[in-house]
Each structure stands twice: as structure tokens, then as C-alpha cells.
Amino acid sequence: MNKHDKVIYTNEPIGKIKIIKDFLPSPKELATREKTVKVTLALTESTLDFFKHIARQHHTPYQKMIRNLLDGYKLQHS
């Protein structure tokens, strides 16, 4: 499908629906900054290359991506 194809909507059943827990942070949580602490962390070269590559694609610092990953892990397991 390309951007010029017209989408045709129909009124048909969509199947079984599964409601998931809201996982998005509130606007207040997004606006606040937590205090950060600098640490030294040894990563495998391939892991660091992965994060740097993805960060370049999204124009963001790779350190921020790693921090967000760890913050998400913490939230999921606390």
C-alpha cells in the first residue's frame, strides 16, 4: 500500500479484544527530571555499537537510550 491508496473502512467484527494496562507515563512524570548519578559501566563492544547505531538513526544520545531502558526495567520490576 502506498500513500495514494485509499483506505476503505468496513463495519465488521474486529475479533477478540484484549485490554492492556496503561503503560504511558503521565504528563507530570514526563516533565520532571530525576537526579542522575554518573557511573562507569563496562558493556560489550557489540552492545555499545548497537545502541550507538540506533541512537544515530533517531538523533538521540545513546546514553539516554540506555538510561531509559534501565528505567523501564526498574518500573516493570518494582
Which tens digit of pLDDT belongs to each residue from 41-69? 999 999 999 999 999 999 999 999 999 89
Q: Is 57 a domain residue?
A: yes
Residue range 9-53, pLDDT digits in tens: 888 888 888 888 887 777 777 677 778 899 999 999 999 999 999
Residue 59 maps to a domain: yes
Q: How far is it, in rounded angstroms, from Cα 48 to Cα 69? A: 13
pLDDT score, position 35: 87
* Grid cell listed for 44: 560489550
Q: What is the pTM of this model?
A: 0.58
Is 61 contained in some domain? yes
Residue 37 belongs to a domain: no
The answer as to whether 72 is a domain residue is yes
Q: Does some domain include residue 35?
A: no
| Total number of domains constituting the chain | 1
Range of the domain at 66: 46-78
Residue with the bigger pLDDT between 56 and 4: it is 56
Angle (deg, nearest 10), helices 45-58 and 62-76: 100
Asked if residue 1 has pLDDT above 90, the reply is no
Contact between residue 55 and residue 61 where contact means Cβ atoms under 8 Å apart:
yes
Task: Answer whether residue 74 is part of any domain.
Answer: yes
Q: Note whether residue 40 is domain-resident.
A: no
